[in-house]
Amino acid sequence: MTQKMTKSPGTKMQVVRMDQFGEASVLQNHHVPIPEPAAGQVLIRVAAAGVNFSDILRRRNTYFMPTALPFVPGAEAVGDIVALGPALHAADEVPEQRPGPALQPGMRVLAILPGGGGYAEYALAPAAYCIPLPDAIGSAQATALFVQGCTAQLLLHQVAAQALGALEGRALLLTAAAGGVGSLLVQLARQAGARVIAAVGSSAKLEAVASLGAHHSVCYAESDWTEQVLAANNGQPVDLVLDPVGGRIYRECFQCLKPGGTAVVYGSASGEPGYVDSEHFVNQGQSLLSFNLAHWIQHRPAEWQAALGEVIGKVAQGMLQVPVTNTFALSQAAEAQRQVEARSTIGKVVLLP
Ligand SMILES: NC(=O)c1ccc[n+]([C@@H]2O[C@H](COP(=O)([O-])OP(=O)(O)OC[C@H]3O[C@@H](n4cnc5c(N)ncnc54)[C@H](OP(=O)(O)O)[C@@H]3O)[C@@H](O)[C@H]2O)c1
């Protein structure tokens, strides 16, 4: 352990842990000993931990991967390194197998946490998944770089761009556009020259997506929302839809999609899968694509890492804003997730231990 620690080794830290699946109340505060990093790990003092929708899916045990209990949620955390695992002391002998400067205590990093652990005062992170951060990016903002930032960047510049050939001048419909991924997608799509039609679940979010650069914003709580989308695109259906909501919204998106167009599904935040029969796709000549970040990390690591680098560069240069309008103390993690489930948050939701 180093002098950077504010608590002595062996003392306890606060974590938010779930010992069972269920409602937000299963997230309980506990005090546990600060862990020691093993070989290949670093210990960081968490300054900010990101809340993602996938944390909620894990809590409900509806995530596509199994979640072993007990579980400390949090797939990404930002903070200073306070201790290196044994192998990292001998940097010459055991390379970290990651690009960039060697990790050292005091360095502020974005830690990607495949096994969770971010909802805590201190977190163990694989050294290979720690990315030193430029000073220009605040810790709260940095929690959006990994899951939401990479998802938005890859969805737009890989999946959508390949489906459309070029993004410039093409009309895109983005649902859940004020959310964590959505708020980044709106900006990236606008910067790529697309015509951005941002759809949200309540009128309170309309202004937020307009301020991020959407050309038009519509609210799908209104019964004529699909007509509003067509009107926003000069009476024409859009070229491509990006939907993480599923259920009714996913289905109704097809009323706005042109023959030969593409729908990209990347979630079902409504809790309902979206159903459109195969005959529809054949009759309309439309295509359905999907996106899963974990798949890209595992099978297309070069593209994923390039996307992360792009997002870090854009945020550092001020080209991409990360709206952080909802921050919570660590002990309020359950309330943070409740507010995401209540659809009352905009942009990135962050825990500040
Ligand atoms: N495939 C992947 O690899 C990947 C990666 C990251 C995220 N995602 C998905 O992308 C979506 C957004 O994730 P995020 O972390 O950025 O979360 P988020 O957007 O901050 O929150 C989810 C949003 O979904 C919308 N929503 C619609 N119906 C909902 C319901 N019944 N309950 C809760 N929310 C509802 C809400 O926006 P409105 O109120 O405006 O509808 C809400 O703001 C999620 O579906 C998530 O699973 C997928």
Are 81 and 116 part of one and the same domain?
yes
Residue 336 in any domain: the answer is yes
Are 195 and 288 part of one and the same domain?
yes
Mean pLDDT, the chain cut into blocks of 10 residues (353 residues total): 55 97 98 94 97 98 97 98 79 53 92 96 96 97 98 98 97 98 98 98 97 98 98 98 98 98 98 95 97 96 96 98 96 98 98 98
Ligand 1 pocket test, pick from 212, 245, 292 with the greatest ligand atom count within 8 Å of Cβ, gives 245
| pLDDT for 103 | 92
Are 207 and 346 part of one and the same domain?
no
Residues 6+ apart with CB under 8 A from 216: 196, 197, 198, 228, 229, 232, 233
Residue 337 in any domain: the answer is yes
Neighbours of 98 (CB within 10 A): 16
Helix, coil or strand: residue 239? strand
Token digits of residue 118:
């971010």
Are 66 and 42 part of one and the same domain?
yes
Pairing of strands 130-132, 108-112: antiparallel
Are 233 and 343 part of one and the same domain?
no
Are 219 and 174 part of one and the same domain?
yes
| pLDDT for 8 | 64
- Distance (angstroms) between ligand 1 centre and the Cα of 268 equals 7
Ligand 1 pocket test, pick from 112, 147, 343, 346 with the greatest ligand atom count within 8 Å of Cβ, gives 343
List b or e across 20-42, with b for residues whose CB sees 16 or more CB atoms inside 10 angstroms: eeeebebbeeeeeebbebeebbb
Domain hosting residue 331, numbered range: 12-144+324-352
| pLDDT for 102 | 86
Residue 300 in any domain: the answer is no
CB 308 within 8 A of CB 289: no
| pLDDT for 1 | 43
Minimum CA distance residue for ligand 1 atom 18: 179
- Distance (angstroms) between ligand 1 centre and the Cα of 34 equals 32
Spell out which residues line ligand 1, taking CB within 6 angstroms: 52-54, 147-148, 151, 176, 178-182, 200-202, 205, 244-245, 266-267, 269-271, 291-293, 340-341, 343, 345
